[in-house]
Amino acid sequence: MRIVSSVLVVCLLTAGAVAHADFALNMREGVTQTSRSVYELHMIIFWVCCAIGVIVFGAMLYSIIRHRKSRGVVAAQFHDSTFMEMLWTIIPIVILVGMAIPATTTLLAMEETGDADMTIKVTGIQWKWKYDYIDGEASGISFLSSLHPKHNEARMLGSDVDLRQFGDQYLLDVDNPLVIPTGQRVRFLLTAADVIHAWWVPDLGWKKDAIPGFINEAWTQIDEPGTYRGQCAELCGKDHAFMPVVVVAKSPEDYAAWVKEQKGSVAEAATEALREWTKPELMAKGEQVYTTVCAACHRPDGQGQPPVFPAIAGSAIANGDAATHIDVVINGRPGTAMVAYRSILNDVDMAAVLTYQRNAWGNAASVVQPTEIQAAR
Ligand SMILES: [Cu+2]
């Protein structure tokens, strides 16, 4: 009786938790053909397992009860029964092959990245993503996607930001989401600039490693406009938990408008890179870039985290001649966490962040112009 009531209490408690927490016990179905096939596969195999469970445990239970000692049953023996041997070899083979056929079909479809309408290169960088639109109308668009500054502020020690404002999306929002059109087959080329990351949006139905020096491929086609969220899924260093992925699928018309707007800023950036910038302009932009790109390691106050991440405040490099400083940032320091920012930052962003490092926190060195970066590349 006591056992029955304990079980009842546990059931009631979990039922309550399920109702309140609104969490699903099953996998999500997702929003792509791939994710739906994966879900269906999961359900087919789940029911196969259930059926096997019912049959096996049913047979066991039946035998235990029906052939119990108190009924005077004597142990039977199945040795050298060729029929039984055949039966319990052939049935599992049929089940396994029956499951392997849909599983392989789904896997092949996931790996088939040809015939894409457009291609996007995804680069994992400690601790953000870079998206480059390789071809099609969007070709040339390229941007970094980092944890949203509001969330970044909220996660800092001693911050008094109210987390409830984020709902269930705390740490799942970025400054610049990846935007793709609905109804188009999008191919992804995934790589990384420093360590192994993994790009993962559960609603798309797959995750893929982003490995330095390798290019992995994947694809998706989202049919409904919407915002889909995920995270880096490969432990990649101290801020691994703070590099979410946000994909916004827009209808072809909205997507075209977005592309036009982005193209406008690409063209604007190109002309901006050629003009002379004032020091306050560079400092303002530089602080922005520093906060989103460099502060995770070198800290917002420039003090770094010695001995691994050097301080920039008072650094001989940041206070020395511009050429050496530019060289460190363009080419990085191979073999350390300081990656080459050559293909990560454009001329304006790099000039601005260098000027900022050279003139913030008591540093006093020269201003760096975008044209100097262009010449140094
Ligand atoms: Cu990562």
pLDDT at residue 10 is higher than 60? no
C-alpha of residue 208 to centroid of ligand 1, in Å = 12
Q: What CATH code is assigned to 17-111?
A: 1.10.287.90
Q: Tell me, what's the pLDDT at 18?
A: 46
Q: Where are the domains of the chain?
A: 17-111, 118-271, 273-376
- Comparing 43 with 136, which gets the higher pLDDT? 43
pLDDT tens string 306-362: 899 999 999 999 999 999 999 999 999 988 989 999 988 989 999 999 999 999 999
Q: Tell me, what's the pLDDT at 21?
A: 46
pLDDT tens string 29-46: 999 999 999 999 999 999
C-alpha of residue 19 to centroid of ligand 1, in Å = 33
pTM over 0.75: yes
**Any idea which architecture 273-376 has in CATH?**
Orthogonal Bundle (1.10)
| pLDDT-derived band at 20, boundaries 50, 70, 90 | very low
Region 127-152 average pLDDT: 91
C-alpha of residue 297 to centroid of ligand 1, in Å = 14
Q: Tell me, what's the pLDDT at 281?
A: 93
C-alpha of residue 55 to centroid of ligand 1, in Å = 45
C-alpha of residue 242 to centroid of ligand 1, in Å = 8
C-alpha of residue 361 to centroid of ligand 1, in Å = 29
Q: What CATH code is assigned to 118-271?
A: 2.60.40.420
C-alpha of residue 90 to centroid of ligand 1, in Å = 45
Q: What percent of the chain has pLDDT over 90?
A: 71
Q: Tell me, what's the pLDDT at 78?
A: 74
pLDDT tens string 230-287: 999 999 998 999 999 999 999 999 999 999 999 888 888 888 888 999 999 999 999 9
C-alpha of residue 241 to centroid of ligand 1, in Å = 8
| pLDDT-derived band at 7, boundaries 50, 70, 90 | low
C-alpha of residue 100 to centroid of ligand 1, in Å = 32
**β-strand 226-232 against 244-250: which pairing, if any?**
antiparallel
Over the chain, what HEC string results?
Answer: CHHHHHHHHHHHHHHHHHHHHCCCCCCCCCCEHHHHHHHHHHHHHHHHHHHHHHHHHHHHHHHHHHCCHHHCCCCCCCCCCHHHHHHHHHHHHHHHHHHHHHHHHHHHHHHCCCCCCEEEEEEEECCEEEEEECCHHHCCCEEEECECHHHHHHCCCCCCCCHHHHHHHCCCCECCCEEEECCCCEEEEEEECCCCEEEEEHHHCEEEEECECCCEEEEECECCCEEEEEEECCCCCCCHHHCEEEEEEECHHHHHHHHHHHHHHHHHHHHHCCCCCCHHHHHHHHHHHHHHHHHHHHCCCCCCECCCECCCCCCHHHHCCHHHHHHHHHHCCCCCCCCCCCCCCCHHHHHHHHHHHHHCCCCCCCCCCHHHHHHHC
C-alpha of residue 234 to centroid of ligand 1, in Å = 6
State the average pLDDT for the chain. Answer: 90
pLDDT tens string 221-244: 999 999 999 999 999 998 999 999
